[in-house]
Amino acid sequence: MLFAPSPVAEIMSATIKDEQFEGHSLNWWEPASTFKLDSILLSYGTTPEMDIREKLKIPNNVIIIGDSGGYKLLTSRARGKNVNIEPLDVLRWQEKNCEIGLTLDINPTSLRAPGSSREKSIATTSGKTTTDEYFNKCLEETCKNNEIFQNNRAPSKLKIYNIIHGGTFEKMERMDIWYNRVKDFKFEGWSVAPKPAGNPLKIAIDLGFLYSRGIKENIHVLAVYGNSALPILVYAKKKLEMKNISTDSFGQALLSIYRHHKSLIGPSLIYTEKNKIHTRVPCFCPVCSIIKNVEDMYRTDNTGYALISLHNTWLTIHFLKYVEALIENEESFQKFVKKYNRLSEGITFLNNTIDYGWEEAMKKISLIQKPLTEW
């Protein structure tokens, strides 16, 4: 599976300024990086520079997935700010820089403005159901953008993915309404943005929907969160035989912002000036093994944030590799799944989708009400 992490601002800043640490670049794509990964997600909403690939020194063999800025529109709206993004500008930026680009979506779920920075992860990933009127307005606006994308393409290597929105637990039927309205646009792939982002069942529902509509390749799952989310994608790839499935699972970026040094074997350690309690570097990954002095973990400049973020990114890749190896043996994988209730729900949903179809799988979890005549 293609995992394209989104770099935190400090990693981008350190890269542009050529800041190194112990002779290593503070990213995962330059020759002197501590580890390599050949994929990255960038968003037009955050880095709209036309020469962003050169600016960030990203080699041509590294796949850039280009988000359109739809998420930026959504979060700005939640904070009451007005941001304008032109679809044609996004398309040209994607053609110049990216291998995969997502259409400029107007997300119909409403995110509330976070009350504090601590609350940011919950506020920006849960998503609330909106009114029918608002939903239709977002859908029509997205279709207008899709038309601009479809009719103005210049020759390039770019594959464009059509985003499906709409499904929240309260109103799952909206996913079908959205899909039917956008399905005839001529693009190369599909993308879903499950909300809540950390809910394995919701991710399974969105992937099961694609499967039921015959979509089995070129699929991007936007911004899923947490360790029980990635196994769902790995399972879908194998069991639903999905090809070219990618994600930008962003838990590692959020943890980095809060200065959590994530661990797979216990609680994460937190490195903040206010609470200076750790006196050892707690890991021997390719990033942490170059840190000689724990004080560097407390730095609040680009280097400090980048080190924590790179460790978290490396750990996420490590976890993904583990799950990808585990799934080769059904029995070991099922043992692993049983440890996580919410992951089990998602796996069961995908199995039901294969056996009985998506609509039936939905009825089994009572999200779509059966008509009385079918009881």
Q: Which is nearer to Zn ion, 221 or 269 (CB)?
A: 269
Q: Please give the C-alpha separations between residue 127 and each of 152, 163, 167, in angstroms, as whole numbers.
A: 32, 16, 10
Q: Whole-number minimum distance, CB 72 to Zn ion, in Å?
A: 30
Q: Whole-number minimum distance, CB 249 to Zn ion, in Å?
A: 18
Q: Which is nearer to Zn ion, 272 or 369 (CB)?
A: 272
Q: Which is nearer to Zn ion, 174 or 311 (CB)?
A: 311
Q: Quick one: how far is CA 58 from the chain centroid?
A: 20
Q: Which is nearer to Zn ion, 148 or 285 (CB)?
A: 285
**Positive or negative CA dihedral for 115, 117, 122, 128?**
positive
Q: Which is nearer to Zn ion, 165 or 259 (CB)?
A: 259
Residues 70 and 15 sit within 8 Å (Cβ to Cβ): no
Which amino acid appears at position 185 of this protein?
A: F
Q: Name the residues that contact Zn ion, by CB under 5 A.
A: 283, 285, 288, 311
Q: Whole-number minimum distance, CB 280 to Zn ion, in Å?
A: 12
Q: Whole-number minimum distance, CB 21 to Zn ion, in Å?
A: 13
Q: Whole-number minimum distance, CB 32 to Zn ion, in Å?
A: 18
Q: What does the alpha-carbon distance between residue 86 and residue 103 come to, in Å, rounded to a whole number?
A: 12
Who contacts 125 (Cβ-Cβ below 8 Å, separation ≥6)? 195, 196, 197, 198, 223, 225
The H or E element spanning position 345 is helix 341-356
Q: Which is nearer to Zn ion, 233 or 288 (CB)?
A: 288
DSSP characters over 86-109: -HHHHHHHHHHH-SEEE------S
Residues 40 and 5 sit within 8 Å (Cβ to Cβ): yes
Q: Whole-number minimum distance, CB 284 to Zn ion, in Å?
A: 7
Which amino acid appears at position 31 of this protein?
A: P
24 CB-side CA count, 13 A: 21
Q: Please give the C-alpha separations between residue 301 and each of 45, 66, 183, 211, 260, in angstroms, as whole numbers.
A: 23, 27, 46, 45, 15
183 CB-side CA count, 13 A: 10
Q: Whole-number minimum distance, CB 310 to Zn ion, in Å?
A: 8
Q: Which is nearer to Zn ion, 94 or 313 (CB)?
A: 313
Q: Specify the 3-state DSSP secondary structure of 211.
A: helix
Q: Whole-number minimum distance, CB 282 to Zn ion, in Å?
A: 8
- CA terminus-to-terminus distance, the chain: 40
Residues 42 and 67 sit within 8 Å (Cβ to Cβ): yes
Q: Which is nearer to Zn ion, 252 or 352 (CB)?
A: 252
Q: Specify the 3-state DSSP secondary structure of 156.
A: coil
